[in-house]
A and B are shown apart, each in its own frame.
Chain A
Amino acid sequence: MNERTSYEQLIAEKAGQCTVPDMADAIWATIDAGLNEAPGDANNSSQPGNTTVKFTQWRKLWLFAGSGIVLTAIVLIWLNYKSEKSKPENYPQQPKNQPSPVQPKMDSLQIDSVTSKKATHRYSLPAPTAVPLKADSASVKKDTLANLPPVSVPKIDSVQQHQRLIPDSSASVPPPHKQRGVKGITLDDYKIVPVNKDTGNNKN
């Protein structure tokens, strides 16, 4: 029995007679609040598809912005790659293991010149033998240094680097002069020491 019965038809008639509560104000307030949540939709309801148009505009804007960012990133990466690629062409390539050349300090150069004793040029360097750069190296004689086996010194890099920086400096330096005069006389012997006259009075 899939048809409506007579009592069901009676129920349907009775359903239309039911009293309806007066909630019109509350319902309209809810409707008003609901429509104010989307003011664009409520005010422009006479324009069909306005929301879709706005969404499409935003989508286009984001698409343009995104493509611009991607394009800028690609250009920056390309420029960076190009600048890195052009570097070895401008500058001579150096071995990777050796550190970058550093300007040698003045102190180390002076020590070297004292050690060699032969060099008259201030920035002249000794022959490429292993020379220990110690503070008291000035007191060591040249013959002793020549007989010593080559010792690896951690601070030797500065000297070698300086040689690389000025490869022809030894060639440009004039040959060392022959020592003249009497041997055994040093510069201290020529120093004039002032005699204090009061010293003798104090002794007396």
Chain B
Amino acid sequence: MSIAMRYSRDEQDAADILSHAFIKLFKSITSFDANKGSLHSWLKRIVINEALDHIKQRSRFCSEELDEVNDPGIPNSIIEKTDADQIMRLIKQLPPATHAVFTLFAIEGYGHKEIAQQLGISEGTSKWHLSEARKTLQQKLSGKN
């Protein structure tokens, strides 16, 4: 549920993502191969794919590209002082496409190449969205404190 919550706007959206992911899991449980990975990682993969499908349906990705991601820099102290739910609320205020790229990169730890493959965009576009997310979060967190 926490994974679904990272990509969704609200609780109901997260519940829909999770239920759809579980239905897919039960329907294709016969194709699960324990040698390839654990059931938990497989379910996590299904939940993320379902969440990205939701995001792709309701948002468009920008066509702008960047070769290098800009980093405005946010002091760690600010992050440490801020409540986890509050940080997640700030992240969800980002545009859906930017929100998805930032979550995949910063929280899930995917590289730009993987993000580009999953979202059907170029690596440069993924970098541009990450730059936008960093810039916006820096402004909001700096302004807040």
Contacts and interface: CB of A to CB of B under 8 A. Distances in A.
A1 B69 contact: yes
Interface of B: 1-2, 5-6, 11, 14-16, 18-20, 22-23, 26-27, 29-31, 68-71, 73-76, 78-80, 82, 84-85, 87-88, 91, 105-107, 109, 111-112, 127, 134
A7 B74 contact: yes
Interface of A: 1-2, 4-12, 14-21, 23, 26-27, 30-31, 34-35, 38, 41-42, 45-48
B109 A30 contact: no
25 contacts: A1-B69, A2-B112, A4-B106, A5-B134, A7-B74, A7-B75, A8-B105, A8-B107, A9-B106, A11-B87, A12-B106, A12-B107, A15-B2, A15-B84, A18-B85, A20-B1, A21-B1, A30-B16, A34-B20, A34-B23, A35-B27, A38-B27, A45-B30, A46-B30, A47-B30
A41 B29 CA distance: 11
A2 B69 contact: yes
A12 B109 contact: yes
Q: Residue among B1, B19, B29, B80 with the most chain A CB within 10 A? A: B19
B126 to A, nearest CB: 10
B84 A17 contact: yes
A27 B112 contact: no
B19 A31 contact: yes
Nearest to B18: A27
A10 B30 contact: no
A11 B106 contact: yes
A20 B5 CA distance: 8
A138 B26 CA distance: 102
B103 to A, nearest CB: 8
B15 A26 contact: yes
Contact of B5 (A6, A18, A30, A31): A18
Contacts of B31: 48
Given A1-B71, A4-B105, A15-B6, A45 B27 contact: yes
Given A8-B105, A21-B11, 19 more contacts: A1-B68, A1-B71, A2-B69, A4-B109, A5-B73, A6-B76, A7-B76, A8-B107, A11-B107, A12-B109, A14-B87, A15-B2, A21-B14, A27-B15, A30-B16, A30-B19, A31-B26, A35-B26, A45-B30
A15 B76 contact: no
A8 B106 contact: yes
A84 B87 CA distance: 88
Q: Residue among A4, A8, A10 with the most chain B CB within 10 A? A: A8
Contact of B79 (A7, A27, A47): A7
